[in-house]
């Protein structure tokens, strides 16, 4: 089978490993610098081709994977003056960012007359899983479109779930992150209350670990709490706040109340407002503790 030319934009913490796996699996790969040149230089040394703009990438690729921060960045890459759509060629965009579902569905409708297909395929797990090729992917799109990009997704995924039409992948990702950011807020507050009562984090962990409330998210979170491992869960608090803001907009558009979501968003908003947005999510526990006078 002839493999399609694949482009990749967004070589951040997740994107570096994803792109490397596409290249390792034998797909012709084009990359461009978005924020950091180092991953580009590494991938080019391994056989990737560097391009200067999204438009140039679209002129050579049949599939372009995006792994940028969110909807504003996706729109800039796709619809900007030198964006993907400016090339005027039929192709498929796979948006692995955590984006606003309402923006995703509108963008897909706008691109369809230009023979550009948008598939949303957001991710779950960590940069270590991206490098290992074991990410979880929630993919939204028509059956035929999903089948077309499935072999590319398999390069960096251990589990792929087709959630339904375009937009459902990003919806499911928001729900997934609501749960995970909710856990982070709960852990942080529970640790602070325990410390106030004289319970050390090690005692807290000895009760939770191995019990019904244990899970992989808990384990990576507590690698920071107990071991101070900064690489345990490399997801910025500012991104958690962004995702919870998308969830709030989604709930408003649906006309429903989500009081727990609002509380989780506020926990992240406070940390961002205090200048801690670049900290990783497990470090929310430090912020909540410090705000209440404990370590």
- Residue 117 CA to its chain's centroid (Å): 20
* DSSP character at residue 282: G
Distance, in Å, from the CA atom of 90 to the CA atom of 61, rounded to the nearest integer, reads 10
CA angle 169/173/174 to nearest 5° reads 120
Q: Which of 70, 66, 98 is nearest to 84 (CA)?
A: 66
With both helix axes pointing from N to C terminus, report the angle between 284-291 and 259-273 in degrees, rounded to the nearest 10: 80
Mapped onto helix, strand or coil, the DSSP state of residue 100 is coil
Q: List 157's β-bridge partners, or say none.
A: 135
H helix intervals, 134-256: 143-153, 168-196, 201-208, 216-227, 237-254
Distances (CA, A) of 192 to 30, 99, 219, 294: 47, 32, 18, 7
Instruction: Give 177-202 as a 3 state SS string.
Output: HHHHHHHHHHHHHHHHHHHHCCCCHH
Helix (H) or strand (E) holding 64: strand 63-66
Respond yes or no: is residue 24 known to be catalytic.
no
Distance, in Å, from the CA atom of 257 to the CA atom of 259, rounded to the nearest integer, reads 6
H helix intervals, 80-126: 101-111
Q: Which of 3, 173, 234, 295 is catalytic?
A: 173
Give the N- to C-terminal CA distance of the chain in Å, as an integer.
Answer: 58
Give the count of alpha carbons within 13 A of 284, CB side only.
34
Residues tagged active-site:
173
């Amino acid at each position: 089978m002839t493999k399609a030319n694949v482009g990749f934009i967004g070589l951040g913490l997740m994107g570096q490993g994803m792109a490397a796996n596409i290249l390792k699996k034998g797909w012709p790969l084009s990359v461009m610098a978005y924020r950091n040149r180092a991953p580009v230089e590494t991938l080019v040394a391994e056989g990737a081709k560097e391009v200067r703009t999204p438009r140039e990438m679209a002129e050579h690729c049949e599939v372009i994977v995006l792994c940028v921060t969110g909807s504003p960045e996706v729109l800039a890459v796709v619809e900007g003056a030198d964006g993907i759509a400016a090339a005027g060629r039929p192709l498929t965009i796979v948006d692995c960012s955590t984006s606003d579902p309402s923006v995703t569905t509108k963008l897909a409708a706008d691109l369809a007359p230009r023979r550009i297909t948008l598939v949303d395929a957001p991710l779950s797990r960590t940069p270590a899983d991206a490098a290992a090729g074991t990410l979880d992917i929630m993919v939204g799109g028509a059956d035929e479109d999903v089948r077309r990009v499935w072999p590319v997704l398999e390069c960096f995924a251990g589990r792929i779930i087709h959630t339904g039409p375009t937009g459902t992948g990003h919806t499911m990702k928001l729900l997934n992150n609501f749960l995970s950011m909710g856990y982070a807020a709960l852990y942080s507050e529970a640790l602070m209350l325990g410390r106030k009562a004289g319970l050390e984090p090690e005692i807290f962990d000895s009760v939770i670990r191995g019990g019904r409330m244990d899970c992989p998210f808990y384990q990576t979170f507590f690698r920071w709490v107990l071991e101070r491992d900064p690489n345990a869960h490399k997801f910025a608090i500012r991104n958690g706040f962004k995702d919870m803001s998308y969830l709030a907009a989604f709930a408003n558009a649906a006309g429903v109340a989500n009081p727990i979501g609002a509380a989780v968003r506020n926990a992240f908003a406070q940390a961002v407002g205090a200048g801690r947005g670049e900290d990783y999510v497990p470090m929310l526990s430090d912020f909540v503790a410090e705000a209440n006078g404990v370590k």
